[in-house]
């Protein structure tokens, strides 16, 4: 907010000027020097002279005594302004070295009026600023408080995050990428087509149906009824796709969050969903599947995929370490090593060169989708990585495996690990600031903690401890 003219900043400068021992030169505009102004103002405050009295004055002037340097009024507004800046020049009367007294008094009154107006404007501005600060404080506090009876401000913020999330799935591009991921799509297809007894004459719920591909697989496998639910705008294209394939009598699509929509039935026999994100749990869509399971799954029903695991491996890739971290130590001759503090905490999602894997895998988390609850999705786990070669460990990488097993005549599984066919999930890399020397046969021990970001529950906070080092990472 702009400062009102002639207020706080000038006030400090003028007060420091008062005790100067020498007098500035006389003003060409009024015939008074700097201290003459001060004495005149204090004289007027004290004596309250009339214009006629001032007109009759001759040298010596009655306010020339040093006692008039002391302000008559505390925080006198007229002593806080540059008088000459505020008053236009007036004609000088040589008889007594003083301008027309009536004009000068009018100028002083005008100046005081402007000063008081400026002071009032400043007071209003300060009041507005205080109100804005209080509003901001109340708003921030409200976002940190959860209410058991309502969603409150933090829920509104989460809904905004959800809006961005669902909006990203409204564009066809991300669905094209997923459909072209053969490991992903063909695994679901094979599970459904090779186990038709699970779907024959059953009611199926597809959570996060997207383009409807899983719903159509289920319908083709003999499902009696399929309900697909999705919040993103892609569901309108899915409706066209369903009609184009003449499956509208079997498949019903519902737009909205599974937590909020009203389904056209109370219970379903099977829940299918492709909910997995980076490092399995990124995006937190499993929360929605668990909600659907608890509310809609009939007794004896099943959720697919039914089992998932998260695994870690050690990575030894000095060239990547140099490229990502040592690069900052000499950037065109400048030390930018402080940038490492921004680079290291961000988990990197990329395809890992399998030749850089230097340990056997260690499973850190098992999830049974038929029994899991949302608290299970935040966890800590100790791990041991059996090192396979003597080198430098530069990172820890995570990936997940997915299993379709319950009641299956033909079990199906797929992996997103670095030794397997590439998927759009890739691997999640946690860079170590300093490489750790390891020997073949060594057991590299550590601990990992996975938590949701409270401000954005679809993203993750991950803390990784390896030997004597600990580092926090975000996946967002």
Q: Strands, DSSP E only, in 274-359?
A: 297-304, 307-315, 348-350
Question: What's the order of all strands across the beta sheet hosting 225-230?
Answer: 251-255, 225-230, 203-207, 268-272, 297-304
Residue 279 is inside which H or E element, if any? none
Of 274, 350, 378, 405, the catalytic one is 274
- Omega of the bond leading into 234 within 30 degrees of 0 (cis): no
3-state helix, strand, coil in the chain (%, to 5): 40, 25, 35
Ranges of H-type helices in 221-264: 234-244
Q: Please tell me which residue in 283, 346, 378, 442 is annotated as part of the active site.
A: 283
- Which residue, chain included where needed, has tokens 């007794």? 299
Q: Which two tokens stand for residue 451?
A: 């938590």
274 in catalytic set = yes
Identify each DSSP E strand in 126-274 by its residue range.
203-207, 225-230, 251-255, 268-272
Residue spans of beta strands (DSSP E) within 359-424: 362-368, 379-386, 391-404, 412-415
Query: How many whole angstroms separate alpha carbon 273 and alpha carbon 270?
Result: 10
User: Closest by alpha carbon to 389, among 444, 335, 342?
Assistant: 444
* Residue 211: both structure tokens together: 């383009």
Q: Based on the residue annotation, tell me whether 283 is a catalytic residue of this protein.
A: yes
Contacts of 386 (CB under 8 A, 6+ apart): 359, 360, 362, 441, 442, 443, 444
Catalytic residues, by residue number, are 274, 283
């Amino acid at each position: 907010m702009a400062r009102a003219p002639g207020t706080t900043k000038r006030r400090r400068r003028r007060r420091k000027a008062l005790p100067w021992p020498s007098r500035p030169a006389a003003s060409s505009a009024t015939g008074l020097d700097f201290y003459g102004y001060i004495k005149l103002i204090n004289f007027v405050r004290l004596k309250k002279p009339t214009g006629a009295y001032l007109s009759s004055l001759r040298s010596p002037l009655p306010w020339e005594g040093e006692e008039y340097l002391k302000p008559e009024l505390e925080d006198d507004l007229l002593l806080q302004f540059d008088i000459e800046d505020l008053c236009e020049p007036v004609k000088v009367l040589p008889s007594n070295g003083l301008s027309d007294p009536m004009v000068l008094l009018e100028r002083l009154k005008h100046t005081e009026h402007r000063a008081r107006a400026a002071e009032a404007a400043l007071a209003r501005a300060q009041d507005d600023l205080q109100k804005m600060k209080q509003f901001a404080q109340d708003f921030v506090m409200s976002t940190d408080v959860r209410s058991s009876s309502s969603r409150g401000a933090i829920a509104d913020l989460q809904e905004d995050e959800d809006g961005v999330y669902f909006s990203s799935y409204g564009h066809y591009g991300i669905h094209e990428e997923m459909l072209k991921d053969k490991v992903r799509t063909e695994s679901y297809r094979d599970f459904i087509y090779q186990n038709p007894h699970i779907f024959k004459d059953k009611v199926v719920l597809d959570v996060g149906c997207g383009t409807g591909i899983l719903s159509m697989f289920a319908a083709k496998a003999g499902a009696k009824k399929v309900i697909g639910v999705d919040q993103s705008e892609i569901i309108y294209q899915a409706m066209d796709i369903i009609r184009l394939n003449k499956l509208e009598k079997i498949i019903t699509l519902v737009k909205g969050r599974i937590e909020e929509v009203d389904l056209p039935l109370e219970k379903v026999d099977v829940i299918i969903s492709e909910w997995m994100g980076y490092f399995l749990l990124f995006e937190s869509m499993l929360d929605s599947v668990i909600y659907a399971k608890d509310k809609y799954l009939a007794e004896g029903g099943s959720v697919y995929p039914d089992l998932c695991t998260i695994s870690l491996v050690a990575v030894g890739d000095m060239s990547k370490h140099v490229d990502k971290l040592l690069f900052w130590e000499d950037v065109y001759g400048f030390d930018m090593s402080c940038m490492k503090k921004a680079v290291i905490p961000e988990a990197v999602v990329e395809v890992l060169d399998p030749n850089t894997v230097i340990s056997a895998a260690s499973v850190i988390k098992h999830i049974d989708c038929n029994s899991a609850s949302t608290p299970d999705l935040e966890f800590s786990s100790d791990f041991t990585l059996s090192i396979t070669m003597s080198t430098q460990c530069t990172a820890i990488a995570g990936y997940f495996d997915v299993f379709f097993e319950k009641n299956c005549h033909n079990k199906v599984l797929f992996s997103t690990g670095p030794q397997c066919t590439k998927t759009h999930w890739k691997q999640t890399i946690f860079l170590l600031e300093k490489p750790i020397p390891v020997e073949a046969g060594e057991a590299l021990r550590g601990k990992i903690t996975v938590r949701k970001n409270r401000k954005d529950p679809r993203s993750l906070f991950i803390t990784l401890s390896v030997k004597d080092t600990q580092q926090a990472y975000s996946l967002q």
